[in-house]
Chains A and B, each alone.
Chain A
Amino acid sequence: MTDLMSDPVEAARVARRRRLDANWLLLVPALALLTVVLLVPLVQSFIRSISTPSWGFDNYVKLFTDGVTLTVLGRTATTALVVTIVAFLLGYPYAYFMTRVGDRTRAILLVVVLIPFWTSVMARNFAWLVILQRGGPVQTALSWIGLGDVQLVGSQIGVTIAMSQVLLPFMVLPLFSSLSAIDRRLLLAARGLGSRPIVAFWKVYWPLSRGGVVAGLILVFTLSLGFYVTPALLGSPQQSLIAQLLAQRTTQLLDFAGAGALGMVVLVVTLLLVAWANRVGGTISAIGVVATSGSGGRR
């Protein structure tokens, strides 16, 4: 009797375990790819940064005592902050607008975000170079209103304008996914109870949207920290950012250990910020889901 009972149970357990093993096996190729392309290079880079020329954290100490690196770090942080603020000021109303319009308009507004999100960063940077160049359309327009001498390309202004445009989807997508989950009837209720619109927004809507806001801010800020192409094309070598410094140390100075240390600092700061944003707003998955969901806010 006990044999008859225990046999199928045992068989089921074995079958379940076998299925479990098969599922883990399915992960092996992806993990192998990740190991070869990301993990091993990053670990090697870290080991190099603490072992060359001698064991210790000299390379890291140098980063924070070397005047040039500190200046570049400061400039990068400032640029990233300005880009993040610009992206937020443009992205929040846009994401909010997306939640308010009809289905068809929303689909168009989403395509407007997704097409640049997916199309060539090179094409867009080239376009900004043409738009902002000396004698280009924007400068001509500025000269009509008496501001002709603003240097846009080769300055932080041009870098900020182009970076904000390139990174804006990373603000809008998590914001949209967070804002579209808010029940607008709460606002109507606040208004019905006699609240002014601005107070209703501040006391009801804003706190509910904070997850998406934090996610968007952190995402744009961290991505700005590692931006390479835009500052290289639209900025000036005298005002280089971390990424350019990193590239220069690697390919021109062949200072692999120093570059590794700088890269590690950028990576750790980025991952800490992303981990924090992930706890607040589910950043990474939000981006992925919205970006691949195609048209419409509804699933």
Chain B
Amino acid sequence: MSTAPARAPEPALETVAIIAGSRGRRRRDRSVDPIPWWLAVIGVAVAIYFILPTLFVIPMSFGGQGSFQFPPKEFTLELYRNFFTNPKWIGSLLNSLLVAVLAASLATVVGTAAALGLHNLAGRVSRLVRTLLMVSMVTPAIVVAVAVYVSFLQWHLVGSIGGYVLAHAAIGVPFVLVSVTSALGGFDPKLLRASASLGASPLRTFMRVTLPLISRGVLTGAVFAFVTSLDEVVIALFLRSPTFQTLPVQMYTAVTVEVDPTIAASSSLVVVTVTLLLLIPLLARPAKR
């Protein structure tokens, strides 16, 4: 807030600031136009509201086998031990991971193909297709869950891995589509012609030229599709069966039926894992920008 002393704006400085881009402009703004203190207070308060649940979940996970007490009376690893030894918990974790890997793979392949196709197409129909593919992002999960449940009952997909994978892949596609599309934004189509003129087949061009250049977008999309599947609970609640249920469903049961504090350990594990996963695309971006 006190990086530069306040001074009268000079035309030359103004030009330099514009050329220097946002960093320079902001620094100038600050001297003339400081951030009000109340804005900073609100900003920090809302930030705390955002992370408050996470702050509670981690200490809870070191509590004992009582009920959902906060603060916990003792600090033990009891809940973690239970998580990793109780077949209900570890089994649902493995189910979730299996579904998430398969769903993310499917969503990534299908979504990347669609992004490539849409990138080369123009016009009303392709815009319509893009909107259609994005629509699951805003369709209420419960409406999808109820409709999918009844249809999947007829198709014998309820309680099967196939059912989970299809449903979770469908809700993961928009994220792959968005991140691959934005990666394709910086892609130079002349490279395709160059590759073709050197005699490469379309598939070879894709594997050797396109894919490496958009790999970060594909990776980001895959991570988001994976996380979306790992976290999805509403559709999974309807697709569950006594023999196959995912971790979020087991967590839901732990709160509503069993009052099982192991959910605190599983919440912490999920929060930490997902945070680390999200850092991958963040760290994978080039440092120069």
Please indicate whether A and B come from the same complex rather than being unrelated chains. Answer: yes
Q: Which residues of A contact B (CB under 8 A)?
A: 19-20, 22-27, 29-31, 33-34, 36-38, 40-42, 44-45, 48, 90-91, 93-94, 96-98, 100-103, 109, 112-116, 118-131, 133, 136-137, 165, 168, 184-185, 187-188, 191, 219, 222-223, 225-229, 232-233, 242-243, 246-247, 250-251, 256, 259-260, 263, 266-267, 270-271, 274, 283-285, 287-289, 291-295, 298
B104 interface residue (CB < 8 Å to A): no
B16 interface residue (CB < 8 Å to A): no
- Give chain B residues whose Cβ lies under 8 Å from the Cβ of A298: 22, 289
Given A118-B278, A260-B147, residue A246 in contact with residue B270 (CB < 8 A): no
- Give chain B residues whose Cβ lies under 8 Å from the Cβ of A188: 29, 32-33
CB<8 Å pairs between A and B, sample of 7: A38-B136, A38-B139, A44-B150, A109-B43, A116-B51, A124-B53, A292-B182
| Contact indicator B142/A26 (Cβ below 8 Å) | no
**Cα distance A251–B145 when bound, in Å?**
11
Contact with A along B140-173 (1 / 0, CB 8 A): 1111111111111000000000000011011001
Q: How far is the CB of A208 from chain B (nearest CB, A)?
A: 16
The residues in B between 113 and 151 inclusive whose CB is less than 8 angstroms from any CB of A are 113-114, 116-118, 120-121, 129, 131-151
Counting from the closest, the 5 A-B pairs by CB-CB distance are A226-B140, A26-B117, A127-B53, A288-B178, A123-B267
Q: Which residue among A26, A123, A133 has the maximum number of chain B CB atoms within 10 Å of its CB?
A: A123
Name A295's closest neighbour in chain B (CB-CB).
B282
| Contact indicator B33/A97 (Cβ below 8 Å) | no
Name B271's closest neighbour in chain A (CB-CB).
A119
**Cα distance A42–B142 when bound, in Å?**
12
**Cα distance A299–B71 when bound, in Å?**
42
Given A37-B170, A188-B33, A285-B178, residue A26 in contact with residue B146 (CB < 8 A): no
Contact-residue bracket for chain B: 35 or more
The residues in B between 54 and 107 inclusive whose CB is less than 8 angstroms from any CB of A are 54, 56-57, 60, 68, 70-71, 106
- Give chain B residues whose Cβ lies under 8 Å from the Cβ of A40: 151
- Give chain A residues whose Cβ lies under 8 Å from the Cβ of B278: 114-115, 118, 294
| Contact indicator B138/A274 (Cβ below 8 Å) | yes
| Contact indicator B113/A225 (Cβ below 8 Å) | no
**Cα distance A110–B253 when bound, in Å?**
32
Given A27-B129, A274-B138, A292-B221, residue A259 in contact with residue B146 (CB < 8 A): yes
- Give chain B residues whose Cβ lies under 8 Å from the Cβ of A233: 252, 255-256
Q: How far is the CB of A121 from chain B (nearest CB, A)?
A: 6
| Contact indicator A34/B147 (Cβ below 8 Å) | no
| Contact indicator A131/B52 (Cβ below 8 Å) | yes
**Cα distance A37–B275 when bound, in Å?**
29
- Give chain A residues whose Cβ lies under 8 Å from the Cβ of B234: 228-229
Given A188-B33, A292-B182, residue A121 in contact with residue B231 (CB < 8 A): yes
| Contact indicator A30/B173 (Cβ below 8 Å) | yes
| Contact indicator B231/A232 (Cβ below 8 Å) | no
Name B137's closest neighbour in chain A (CB-CB).
A284
- Give chain B residues whose Cβ lies under 8 Å from the Cβ of A270: 138-140, 143
Q: Which of A91, A101, A123 contacts B53 (CB 8 A)?
A: A123
Name B144's closest neighbour in chain A (CB-CB).
A38
Q: Which of A30, A102, A126 contacts B255 (CB 8 A)?
A: A126
B214 interface residue (CB < 8 Å to A): no
| Contact indicator B121/A23 (Cβ below 8 Å) | yes
- Give chain A residues whose Cβ lies under 8 Å from the Cβ of B281: 292, 294
| Contact indicator A247/B133 (Cβ below 8 Å) | no
**Cα distance A294–B179 when bound, in Å?**
11
Given A109-B43, A122-B251, A225-B140, residue A37 in contact with residue B51 (CB < 8 A): no
Given A26-B117, A34-B170, A45-B146, residue A127 in contact with residue B49 (CB < 8 A): no
Contact with A along B19-43 (1 / 0, CB 8 A): 0001101100100110100011011
**Cα distance A120–B35 when bound, in Å?**
34
Q: Which of A36, A112, A229, A284 contacts B138 (CB 8 A)?
A: A284
B190 interface residue (CB < 8 Å to A): no
| Contact indicator B140/A30 (Cβ below 8 Å) | no
B285 interface residue (CB < 8 Å to A): yes
B245 interface residue (CB < 8 Å to A): no
| Contact indicator A187/B33 (Cβ below 8 Å) | yes
| Contact indicator A250/B285 (Cβ below 8 Å) | no
- Give chain B residues whose Cβ lies under 8 Å from the Cβ of A267: 139-140, 143
- Give chain B residues whose Cβ lies under 8 Å from the Cβ of A294: 220, 278, 281-282, 285
Q: Which of B57, B129, B270, B282 contacts A31 (CB 8 A)?
A: B129
**Cα distance A27–B117 when bound, in Å?**
6
